Amino acid sequence: MQLVTVGKKTFRDYLRFIDKEIEKELTFLIQKIKNKKIAMVNATSFGGGVAEKLHSIIPLMKDLGLNVDWWTIYGHEEFYKVTKKFHNSLQGQEGDLTYNDKEIFLKYNKINAAYMKEWNYDYIVIHDPQPAALIDLTERKENEKWIWRCHIDTSTPNPEYWNFLYKYILQYDALIFTMRDYVKEDSNFKNITFITPSIDPLSPKNIPMEKEEARAVTSAFGVDVNRPLISQVSRFDPWKDPLGVIDAYKIVKKEFPSVQLALIGSMASDDPEGWDYLYRTLRRAGEDYDIIIITNFNGISNLEVNAFQTASDIILQKSIREGFGLTVAEGLWKGIPVIGGNVGGIKLQIEDGISGYLVDTVEECAEKALTLLRNPLIAHEMKEAGREKVRKEFLVTKNILDYLRLFQKLS
């Protein structure tokens, strides 16, 4: 295992975003658990929403005086290939869980469990399937409370994968899911908390950026700033449906020829399947030079993502299945209308027709995009509703409060 080094953040900079009663509750809870030790454990410190959230939450918890560490597990390509199958299968993808896959999964969990022998934490938060078996492979200490944080939709999982993981999940003292709909109906869980993910309003990805600066950045990647831009920021993954995004864009293009499409994604170290789907996306785009496809290997960082979202006329998150989809909250926070798949956590963020649109098909996606492009006033009216929704429910300050409430409950 590796201890992750995080940057520094100052919580008082975030007080402007929270209401007074929330500030008081935070102060109370911090006093209650300030002498406790907390460990966050996940698969990677780079790429994907979980790592991004922890890079915001951990420094702010530390600044609040909490004793918290972030650990990433050791893994090799064979392990990440297997855990990607777990990720997809827990979201319903068909396929068999082989004996070899089980052995690989447990082998790396055992390796990582060996690092935990000398640990002394009060709360251990395990994120997602990759390290879920650690609880069964370590000798638990009397003071420890183990929490499994599931960031994905497990409402209709592949039975083989679910049954294998279920015996480990049952051992946890508490479980965190994004929403009630994600919990398999016949699960015999006793202590469930629902916590939505969050964005950091002061991170390079979300700090306010002037339109002119955003346009200057995007123009360096081939965007014509004098023409409308539709963007989707997400992994290249079948569940994010980049192929469907391109198909919707092509429908829009027939009636609105000036439109451009940008697909921006980071390639995560624990997602070997991502490269294959990136190549599929490139093939679907073909030789349409108004489709811009870029990754972190093309010089895209959080600042550039901010620029693309800020410069866009419409942001898409056309997911087929989605744990949450933080790019929706990012777009709403910037005052850009978002068209999202009518699935998972996206439904918690978009108020259909008020801050954006929820869609089920490629054709619906194209129809709503055309509505917004033809009627700029609608997009303007959606701006404040979306931003206020995010301020109240989906900022990192709320996420920290929810964790502290759970820690206090387990004390």
Tens digits of residue pLDDT in 179-204: 998 999 888 898 999 999 899 999 99
CB of 120 closer than 8 Å to CB of 139: no
Distances from the Cα of 6 to the Cα of 58, 306, 341, 399, angstroms: 7, 21, 33, 18
* pLDDT value at 9 more than 80: yes
Which residue, 174, 178, 176, 175, is CA-closest to 196?
Answer: 178
> What angle (nearest 5°) sits at the alpha carbon of residue 79, between those of residues 78 and 81?
65
Q: Is 231 helix (H, G, I), strand (E, B) or coil?
A: strand
Which residue, 65, 151, 123, 60, is CA-closest to 397?
Answer: 60
Residue 326 to residue 364: CA distance in whole angstroms: 22
Residues 405 and 335 in one domain: no
Residues 164 and 229 in one domain: no
Residue type, 325: G
* pLDDT value at 386 more than 70: yes
Q: Which residues have C-beta within 8 Å of that of residue 184, sequence separation ≥ 6?
A: 154, 155, 156, 157, 162
Inside any domain, residue 149: yes
Inside any domain, residue 155: yes
DSSP-derived secondary structure for 281-327: HHHHHTT-TTEEEEEGGGT--HHHHHHHHHH-SEEEE--SS-S--HH
Tens digits of residue pLDDT in 42-85: 998 876 678 888 999 999 999 999 999 999 999 998 999 999 99
207 or 273: which leads in pLDDT? 207
Residues 254 and 380 in one domain: yes
Residues 29 and 72 in one domain: yes
Residue 342 to residue 338: CA distance in whole angstroms: 12
Q: Exposed e or buried b for every residue in 346-382, given b needs 16+ CB within 10 A?
A: bbbbbbeeebbbbbeebebbbbbbbebbeeeeebeeb
Residues 101 and 48 in one domain: yes
Residues 389 and 399 in one domain: no
Residues 239 and 388 in one domain: yes
Inside any domain, residue 203: no
Q: State the distance between the two ends of the chain, measured CA to CA, in whole angstroms.
A: 27
Tell me the residue length of the chain: 411
Helix 362-374 crosses helix 376-393 at what angle (to 10 degrees)?
Answer: 110
Residues 240 and 298 in one domain: yes
By residue range, what is the domain housing residue 163? Answer: 2-198+395-410
Residues 268 and 174 in one domain: no
pLDDT for residue 276: 83
Inside any domain, residue 215: yes
Residue 353 to residue 342: CA distance in whole angstroms: 13
Inside any domain, residue 404: yes
Inside any domain, residue 294: yes
Specify the CATH number for the domain of residue 236.
3.40.50.2000
Mean pLDDT, the chain, whole residue set? 93
* pLDDT value at 361 more than 70: yes
Place of tokens 């027939």: 254
Tens digits of residue pLDDT in 306-330: 999 999 999 999 999 887 888 999 9
Inside any domain, residue 204: no
Distances from the Cα of 291 to the Cα of 230, 264, 285, angstroms: 10, 11, 7
Q: Exposed e or buried b for every residue in 134-161, given b needs 16+ CB within 10 A?
A: bbebbeeeeebbbbbbbbbbbbebbebb
Residues 220 and 351 in one domain: yes
Residues 56 and 152 in one domain: yes
Rounded to 5 degrees, φ, ψ at 369 are -65, -45
Residue 213 to residue 33: CA distance in whole angstroms: 43
Tens digits of residue pLDDT in 197-255: 899 999 999 999 999 999 999 999 999 999 999 999 998 888 899 999 999 999 999 99
Residues 72 and 172 in one domain: yes
Q: Which residues have C-beta within 8 Å of that of residue 33, sequence separation ≥ 6?
A: 66, 404, 407, 408, 411
Inside any domain, residue 206: no
Residue 152 to residue 42: CA distance in whole angstroms: 14
Q: Which residues have C-beta within 8 Å of that of residue 135, sequence separation ≥ 6?
A: 126, 146, 148, 168, 171, 172
Tens digits of residue pLDDT in 160-185: 999 999 999 999 999 999 999 899 98
Residue 340, strand partner residues: 317, 358
Place of tokens 């346009």: 215
Residue 347 to residue 357: CA distance in whole angstroms: 10
Instruction: Count the domains in the chain.
Output: 2
